[in-house]
Structure 1
Amino acid sequence: MTAGASIQQTAAHAARQPLLSVRGVKTYYGNIIALKGVDMDVHEGEIVTLIGANGAGKSTLMMTIFGNPRAREGTITYAGRDITKMPTHEIAHLSIAQSPEGRRIFPRMTVFENLQMGAAINGMAHFNQDLERVCTLFPRLKERLQQRGGTLSGGEQQMLAIARALMSRPRLLLLDEPSLGLAPLIVKQIFHIIKELNEKDGMTVFLVEQNAYHALRLAHRGYVMVTGNITMSGTGKELLENPQVRAAYLEGGHH
C-alpha cells in the first residue's frame, strides 16, 4: 500500500460516522463522580478495548452505554442515534448486546433456556440457526445444553454469557471483563473466539478488560482509563509498546 493510500484510508476512517460515540460523558454514583467527561469512539468492524486498573471506571462506562446508570452529562450515540436517555430494554433492541462482568447468567435455567433468553430480544427469529452457530463456536456448551447454568464451571459460564449475547445477532457486542478469574488456557480460547467473531462475521466489539496484554494484542485500538478519565489512546500495538502502559499494566503480568 502506498503512503498516499494509507493517508486516504485514515482520512476516510476519520470522516466515517462511528458506530458508537461517547462525548463528554459524566456519570455519578450519588454525589461521587465515577466518569469525568469521557470521549471515545468505536467504528464499525473494529475491536476496541478499554484497559485500566480495578476501580478505574471501566465497567461504569460500559453500564452507562447501556443506560444503567445514566450519564448525567454528555451524549452517547449509536448508529447516529442519541441513546443517552433511552431505557436499557430499548437499547437492547437496537442490536447492541452485552456480556456483563461477573457473567450474570440465569443459574437455575438450563444452558438451552439461557440461550433462549438471549434470542427473545429479536423474537427468536433465527433461533435454530443461531443455536447451531454458538454450539459450533462453543462446543463445550453443546454438550451441556440441558444442564443448569449454575452447575457449569467459571469458564463455561463465561462462554454461556457470550453465547447468550450472540443469540440476539448484535451489530455491537459489549464484553465486560470476559477473562476475569479464568485459567490462562480458557482465556486464550475466549480471546480466540472474539477474534473469530470479528474477522469472520465482521462483528464490532467493545471490550473492557483488566488483562491488558491479551486485550491490546487483540484490539485494533485501545483506550486507557485512570480514575474516570481517558488518559491515553492509540492502536493496540502502540499501547502495547508504550513505556507507561508497559510499566503500569504489563510488567510481569502477561501469560
Structure 2
Amino acid sequence: MSAIEATSPAGEPLLAVRGVQTFYGKIQALRGVDVDVHEGEIVTLIGANGAGKSTLMMTICGNPRASTGQILYRGEDITHLPTHDIMSKSIAQSPEGRRVFARMTVMENLQMGAILEDDGYFDDDLRKVFELFPRLKERRGQRGGTLSGGEQQMLAIGRALMSRPKLLLLDEPSLGLAPLIVKQIFEVIRELNRNEGLTVFLVEQNAFHALRLAHRGYVMVNGAITMTGSGRELLARDEVRSAYLEGGAH
C-alpha cells in the first residue's frame, strides 16, 4: 500500500470490503482487497485493463463469490447472499458493456429497472431520469439495441436509477464513448451525488475523469490495492500520472 492513505469519513461505511480474495478456477483475480465506501461519497477504483476492477464489482454483487473475506453493506454481511437478495437492498448496478435489453424499447428498459413492490414512485422516477437524460425521452419508443453507445450508457444508468438505489455501482461508464459524451455522463454522476446525496462506487479506466469526480480513490494492480488517497492526491502522484493519465485528460 502506498504511503498516501485517504482519510475516510468517520463512522461505519455503507459498503465495506474486507480482505476479499476471488478466484476463477485456480486463477486468483483478487488478492485480499480492502475498500470502504461511506454514505454520500463518490469513490473510484482505477487500474489498467485486467487489473481486477470489474471482478471486484461483480464479487460485490455475488457473482463470482468471494473465496475469503467479507463484504458488508450497512453492517450486514452480504458475502454469501444470492445476487437477487443483494440487489434488493437498495443497491443498483450499471454493468460494464451497458447490457441494455436490445429488443425492448427505452421505456420498457426503464420499466425493467423500476421498483416492483411499489409503483407509486414510477412517474416521478421516470421524470427525473428524463430530466437527467433528455435524449432518452426523445428515444422512449426506440429499441435499446438501435441506440448509440452513449445513449445505451444513459439508458443503463437510467435503468439503475429507477430502482431508487442508496448505492450505485458503475462499471466502466466511459468505455468506448466519445469525450463529449463521457463529460456529460460524469456531470450527471456529480449532479446525482451533489443534489440527491447518492453514494457511488465507480470502476473506471479513465483515471483523469474518475479522480476529478471522486472524493476518494483506490488504485488496483494485479488484483491488489496498491494506493489510496483523495482524488486530488492521486491525480498529483507522478506514478499515477505516468501509468494512467497519459492521453486521458479529455
Deviations 1:13-43 (A, max 9, x none): 23x0000000000000011000010000000
What are structure 1's unaligned runs of at least 5 residues?
Answer: 1-9
Does residue 194 of structure 1 match 2:189?
yes
Match of 1:180 among 175, 180, 195: 175
2:19 is paired with a residue whose SS is: strand
Give the residue type in structure 1 aligned to 2:222. T
Match of 1:107 among 102, 107, 116: 102
| Contact 2:115/2:164 (8 A) holds in 1 | no
> What is the deviation of 1:252?
3.1
Q: Which runs of 4+ in 1 moved over 2 A?
A: 120-125
Match of 2:240 among 229, 237, 245: 245
**Alignment-derived partner of residue 127 in structure 1:** 122
Give the residue type in structure 2 aligned to 1:212. A
**Alignment-derived partner of residue 79 in structure 2:** 84
2:119 is paired with a residue whose SS is: coil
Does residue 216 of structure 1 match 2:197?
no
CA separation in 2, counterparts of 1:131 and 1:254?
33
Alignment of 1:1-255 (within 5 A): 13-14=9-10, 16-255=11-250
What are structure 2's unaligned runs of at least 5 residues?
Answer: 1-6
TM-score of the pair, normalised by structure 2: 0.96
Name the % identity: 74
Give the residue type in structure 1 aligned to 2:50. G
Deviations 1:161-210 (A, max 9, x none): 00000000000000000000000000000000000000000000000000
Give the residue type in structure 2 aligned to 1:240. L
1:180 is paired with a residue whose SS is: coil
| Contact 2:46/2:203 (8 A) holds in 1 | yes
2:62 is paired with a residue whose SS is: coil
| Contact 1:93/1:121 (8 A) holds in 2 | no
| Higher relative contact order, chain-length normalized (CA < 8 Å, sep 6+) | 2
> What is the deviation of 1:254?
1.7
1:156 is paired with a residue whose SS is: helix
RMSD: 1.1
CA separation in 2, counterparts of 1:229 and 1:61?
10
1:126 is paired with a residue whose SS is: helix
| Contact 1:49/1:222 (8 A) holds in 2 | yes
TM-score of the pair, normalised by structure 1: 0.94
